Amino acid sequence: METDRPDLGLGQEPALLPREEEVEFVPIRAQGPGGQNVNKVSNALQLRFDIHASSLPDELKAKLLALNDQRLSNQGVLVIKSQEYRSLEQNRAAGLARLRELVAGAAVVQRPRRPTRPTRSAQRKRVDSKVRRGLVKALRGRISD
């Protein structure tokens, strides 16, 4: 199947990664020290990714919406702030990389847990330690003459 999306080296299929066209980039002023440059230039970026309107598979959308993440709004919009570099282009690339990393992490399928039972010796050790502990506690009672 031929797609117009490049392989991003994350080990994920291109269909499982968000398209750059679906991300809204809003330039904002960066916080923190930086002298006059911070006050004059909007070098930080706010990436807004609407999960409901994206082209991601429905299962992945559900996983992303179920994340307990403060960057996710009630309307299903993921907001990522990128301000680590002084260049707008570098902040754009860094923000996209963080978004793709978040989506790739949600796309990982966990193996189902196989329930196991404790071994007989583990059960015996547990009961023996409970008995020993009970004997120690029994010695703590009041002394009666």
Total domains in the chain come to 1
CATH at 51? 3.30.160.20
Higher pLDDT, 81 or 42: 81
How far apart (Å, rounded) are the C-alpha atoms in residues 9 and 43? Answer: 27
* Averaged pLDDT, 116-128: 97
| Residue 136 resides in a domain | no
**pTM score, whole prediction:** 0.61
Instruction: Tell me the DSSP string of 43-98.
Output: -EEEEEEESTTS-S-HHHHHHHHT---TTB-TTSEEEEEE-SSSSHHHHHHHHHHH
Range of the domain at 26: 14-107
Higher pLDDT, 71 or 134: 134
| Residue 5 resides in a domain | no
Mean pLDDT across the chain, nearest whole number?
Answer: 80
| Residue 127 resides in a domain | no
